[in-house]
Amino acid sequence: MPAHWFPLVPARTGDGDVLELRLQLMAYSAEPDAVSLGTLLHTGLTIDDDRPPREGRRVLREKVLTRWTDGTAIAWVRRRATIGRGEGSSGLRFDDVAPSV
């Protein structure tokens, strides 16, 4: 698994009726001290199961520069969320048969 993947693991709430997703570190990461490049979610945070769409969510961080009416430059960083590109693949395969030569 890539070091920058932080999975949303299903977990039951205290009621046991509602399923939530909890952000956790990879259990078998090649880099156990991996850190994220940004902070959108914190480890241990829970979100409702129905919130993330099946096709995923892509969050872009962009630097923006504009000018005010008097000509002064104003810069900021914005985040923009778009629909993802579908379910990702880690490359993990089970029961894969390769022909022997």
What's the pLDDT tens digit per position in 79-99? 888 887 777 666 777 777 778
CA dihedral over 97, 6, 44, 84, signed as positive or negative: negative
Q: What is the mean pLDDT of residues 40-64?
A: 76
Q: Is the pTM of the predicted complex or chain greater than 0.75?
A: no
The residue type of 58 is: R
Per-residue pLDDT at 7 exceeds 80: no
The two three-digit tokens of residue 26, written as one number: 């990879």
| 25 pLDDT higher than 90 | no
